[in-house]
């Protein structure tokens, strides 16, 4: 199967696929496609896990991670722990195109974004406030701190006692409901590739936590001479293995995209057999594939594909 151009993205985020496809069809570059596709999810708040108003951290704030990579020039722009700016993928692209840098983080990334004309807004919504207060009421489960000594004088929150008392022995509770991300790959008819991600990360994370999504080679990777990949899932685990980079290198060495995706997932499984995660891969000829780690919270991984055969966003699993 090969019918360039091609857009693929993680999860059934159809509006994002359609936006990216539209960008390509109207003469945009693969970078435009990835930016516009991910930006659509940021506006639509796909699954509550992309963009504003989702995944409040331990203090109730939503922060965003995003990256975009040009597989021709190997330029990358990334932002992590971005605050108060809704269009994280846009800021990532501005880092790439308007600085000599690759990644900006936290408050300083937000100041940069404002200087670039992005509007500062509250990322909190009634829904994210509600998720946060339910979490407080439910004794802060899940939480992501280990070895916290109980301090009965404070309540839930950073280093709080409830967090310590209710800790599931360090066991993490990541699932499809607390944890998603858009990862997208675009390939034009000449085989030019770009990849990107956008996410609000992980609910109830420790403030300052950065996931895999903005990490080059972890969340996504693109090299127009080999292939492109994008990952989703438990970023704290997945980033230790650079699965997107690995998949691209396997394709460079001749693996077909499905096999490359499977190997990247297997590598992580060797150490974390029950991690939650999936990856999508494409090569320069427009062949694509995907793989996920089959666990109770992820029995089937759905992703979207648009190519010249379908000329529209099609759900695959």
- What is the nearest approach in angstroms of ligand SD4 to the Cβ of residue 121? 21
- 104 versus 210: smaller Cβ distance to ligand SD4: 210
Distance of alpha carbon 290 from alpha carbon 86, whole angstroms: 29
Q: Is 207 exposed, middle or buried (0-12, 13-18, 19+ CB in 10 A)?
A: middle
| Binding-site ranges for ligand SD4 (CB under 6 A) | 179-181, 199, 201-202, 211-213, 232-235
Do residues 50 and 203 make contact, with C-beta atoms less than 8 angstroms apart? no
- Quick count: other Cβ atoms within 10 Å of Cβ 194? 27
Percent composition of the chain: helix, strand, coil (DSSP 3-state, to 5) = 30, 20, 45
- What is the nearest approach in angstroms of ligand SD4 to the Cβ of residue 257? 19
- What is the nearest approach in angstroms of ligand SD4 to the Cβ of residue 200? 8
Q: Is 30 exposed, middle or buried (0-12, 13-18, 19+ CB in 10 A)?
A: buried
Cα angle at 108 between 133 and 122, to 5 degrees? 35
Q: Is 199 assigned a catalytic role?
A: no
Given the residues 10, 17, 62, 181, select the one marked as catalytic: 181
- 164 versus 202: smaller Cβ distance to ligand SD4: 202
Distance of alpha carbon 135 from alpha carbon 142, whole angstroms: 8
- 143 versus 199: smaller Cβ distance to ligand SD4: 199
- 164 versus 290: smaller Cβ distance to ligand SD4: 290
- 5 versus 233: smaller Cβ distance to ligand SD4: 233
- What is the nearest approach in angstroms of ligand SD4 to the Cβ of residue 232? 4
- What is the nearest approach in angstroms of ligand SD4 to the Cβ of residue 219? 7
Ramachandran region of residue 55, left (φ > 0), alpha (ψ -120 to 50) or beta? Answer: left
Backbone angles phi, psi at 14, to 5 degrees: -65, -40
Name residue, tokens 């896990």.
49
Distance of alpha carbon 182 from alpha carbon 51, whole angstroms: 10
Q: Which residues are catalytic?
A: 181
């Amino acid at each position: 199967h090969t019918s360039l151009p091609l857009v693929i993205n993680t999860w059934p985020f159809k509006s994002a696929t359609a936006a990216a496809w539209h960008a390509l069809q109207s003469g945009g570059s693969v970078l435009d496609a990835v930016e516009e596709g991910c930006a659509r999810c940021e506006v639509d708040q796909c699954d509550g896990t992309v963009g504003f108003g989702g995944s409040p951290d331990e203090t109730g704030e939503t922060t965003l991670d995003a990256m975009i990579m040009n597989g021709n020039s190997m330029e990358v722009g990334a932002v992590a722990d971005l605050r108060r700016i809704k269009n994280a993928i846009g800021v990532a692209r501005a880092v790439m195109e308007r600085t000599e840098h690759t990644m900006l983080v936290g408050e300083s990334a937000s100041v940069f974004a404002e200087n670039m004309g992005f509007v500062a807004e509250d990322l909190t919504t009634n829904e994210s406030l509600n998720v946060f207060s339910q979490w407080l009421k439910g004794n802060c489960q899940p939480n992501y701190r280990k070895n916290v000594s109980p301090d009965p004088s404070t309540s839930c929150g950073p280093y709080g006692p409830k967090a310590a008392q209710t800790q599931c022995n360090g066991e993490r509770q990541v699932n499809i409901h607390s944890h998603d991300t858009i990862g997208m790959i675009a390939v034009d008819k000449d085989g030019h590739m770009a990849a990107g991600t956008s996410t609000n990360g992980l609910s109830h994370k420790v403030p300052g936590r950065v996931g895999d999504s903005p990490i080059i080679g972890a969340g996504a990777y693109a090299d127009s001479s080999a292939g492109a990949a994008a990952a989703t899932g438990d970023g704290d685990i997945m980033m230790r293995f650079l699965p997107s980079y690995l998949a691209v290198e396997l394709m460079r060495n001749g693996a077909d995209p499905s096999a490359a995706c499977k190997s990247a997932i297997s590598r992580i499984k060797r150490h974390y057999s029950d991690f939650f995660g999936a990856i999508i891969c494409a090569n320069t000829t427009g062949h694509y594939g995907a793989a996920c780690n089959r666990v109770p919270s992820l029995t089937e991984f759905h992703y979207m594909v648009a190519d010249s055969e379908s000329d529209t966003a099609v759900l695959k699993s």
